[in-house]
Amino acid sequence: MSDGDRVTQEFERQRPRLRAVAYRMLGSLSEADDAVQESWLRLNRSGADEVTNLAGWLTTVVARVSLDMLRARRSRHEDYVGSWLPEPVVSLDEESDPEQQALLADSVGLALLVVLEALSPAERLAFVLHDMFAMPFEEIAPIVDRTPAAARQLASRARRRVQGRQPEPAADMSEQRRLVDAFLAAARAGDFDALVAVLDPDVVFNLDTGGVPPRAREPVVGADAVAEQVVTSGYRRLASIARPATVNGAAGLVIAPDATPVAVIGFTTQNGRIVEIDLVADPEKLRGVEL
């Protein structure tokens, strides 16, 4: 095997992890793929012979590229109407390829990615690389142009913000599925009381249609308001064609009249109730969902 073949083989071995890093940084599968591809191009330009720790080098490059993409994206989000949600990772069965398994691992739910989006790019990078991928602060520091101590502070500040806003999901998938099935049955029946019973009093319903009026909506908050929205709008019709799926590692739903999904719904559950509903209906973000 030539040196080039060995480098290519090692890169492909690292690809699922690199894609997982980029997805947690960006919340976008398409952008994550772009970041991973850029790392491959830079590796070819720099020459693999000069790289002693290929895995670490690639992770650093993907992190730098993701950081630049995050900074550029923040200005575009200023005019975004309604909720911004990440591109969902969807599986209709328990079998999935290694890249999808890497993305579904570590409980990276839609709700957590929404919280991460509220962090500054540097905070997000420090938190993702250290707390999710155990990268030392000595290696994180040069990526964000900080000292190791300052990088540690970034991660600590991000951690406090995440812990303050991110509910602990139900650990048991069967319990998650029970709640989602109950929600789906109530939505199909248009049963307001049954919906309220399965929703947390402070439930938040986020809808991402691409940030463009008139379909874009601000979040709906509260069990009564969410139940009213489901019963009186077109969501009851959507519920009739929804089917169970795993969405970012948690029980969810996919709505696809044919082979092309029109919406993916993620749920966050806690203490026997649904505390957050994230509905992604942006066609751009659903383009990578394969059923």
Indicate if the alpha-carbon torsion angle 168, 169, 170, 171 is positive or negative.
negative
- 77, pLDDT greater than 70: no
Mean pLDDT of 197-214: 87
Is the pLDDT assigned to residue 173 strictly greater than 80?
Answer: yes
Q: Please report the pLDDT score of residue 106 as a whole number.
A: 46
- Side chain identity, residue 135: M
Strands (E), 86-226: 90-91, 199-208, 220-221
47 Cβ contact list (under 8 Å, min separation 6) = none
Q: What homologous superfamily is domain 3-82+120-165 in, according to CATH? A: PhyR, sigma-like (SL) domain (1.20.140.160)
Rounded distance, CA 62 to CA 31, Å? 11
User: Where in the chain are the domains?
Assistant: 3-82+120-165, 173-286
Residue 45 has pLDDT above 90, yes or no: no
Specify burial of residue 232 (Cβ count, 10 A radius: 0-12, 13-18, 19+): exposed
Please state the rounded mean pLDDT for residues 48-55.
75
Percent of the chain, pLDDT > 70? 84
pLDDT surpassing 80 at residue 215: no
- Burial tier of 132 (Cβ tally within 10 Å: 0-12, 13-18, 19+): middle
Q: Report in angstroms the alpha-carbon separations of 241 from 180, 261, 271.
A: 14, 11, 28
Both tokens of residue 92? 């209709």
Does the domain spanning 173-286 belong to CATH 3.10.450.50? yes
C-alpha span between 271 and 182 (Å, rounded): 15
Query: At residue 78, does pLDDT exceed 70?
Result: no
Predicted confidence (pLDDT) per residue in 92-123, tens digit: 765 555 555 555 554 478 888 888 988 999 99
Spell out the residues 6+ positions from residue 27 whose beta carbon is closer than 8 angstroms to its own: 86, 87, 113, 116, 117
